[in-house]
Amino acid sequence: MMRPLFCLAMAGLVLSCHKSNQFDDDDDIELFDDEDDSEQTATATLYVRSNYKWNKGTNGAVKSAFQKILTPQLRQLGDIESVEAENDDGNFAMVYTITNTDCDMVDIAKERIEAAKKHIDSVEVECE
């Protein structure tokens, strides 16, 4: 009984892994230009100010939650050198320093973080 189910599952896995390109070469969309790495030499600092008040008792939990959400996304931009929590006029803020990045991509990430507005008051970027 288990053997036929296993065979069906394996067949489904093999078929789902089969790559079939349904698009013509003209329809390909490239989000990133892999050939040009010269622009990825900038260092960016992102200041993400939250709606949460700075509170020494809850800062650890808030920092963990923000890191869980933001770090995987920001890691796509380059190498994360540091992540720090700051008191920004009484509000909790995260400061990310990212190296080997592209300032244009950092600006796009800033816009997307601002658009999400989940517990975020503002986002500022310095990139050079």
| pLDDT, position 41 | 87
Residue 35 lies in a domain: no
* Total number of domains in the chain: 1
Supply the DSSP symbol for 75: G
Contacts of 44 by beta carbon, 8 Å cutoff, 6+ apart: 77, 78, 96, 97, 98, 101, 103, 106, 125, 126, 127
> Which carries the bigger pLDDT value, residue 19 or residue 38?
38
User: What percent of the chain is modeled with pLDDT above 90?
Assistant: 52
| pLDDT, position 5 | 45
- Highest-confidence segment of 8-17, 35-44, 117-126: 117-126
Half-sphere exposure of 81 (CA within 13 A, CB side): 10
38-42, 63-67, 109-113: segment of lowest average pLDDT:
38-42
Residue 88 lies in a domain: yes
Residue 27 lies in a domain: no
Residue 36 lies in a domain: no
- Highest-confidence segment of 33-47, 48-62, 107-121: 48-62
Residue 80 lies in a domain: yes
| pLDDT, position 39 | 64
Residue 14 lies in a domain: no
**Helical H runs in the chain?**
2-17, 59-74, 103-116
Residue 18 lies in a domain: no
CA separation, residue 15 to residues 6, 7, 24, 104 (Å): 14, 12, 21, 38
Residue 114, domain extent = 52-128
18-22, 34-38, 55-59, 120-124: segment of lowest average pLDDT:
18-22
Mean pLDDT of 50-75: 91
Mean pLDDT of 11-31: 37
Residue 63 lies in a domain: yes
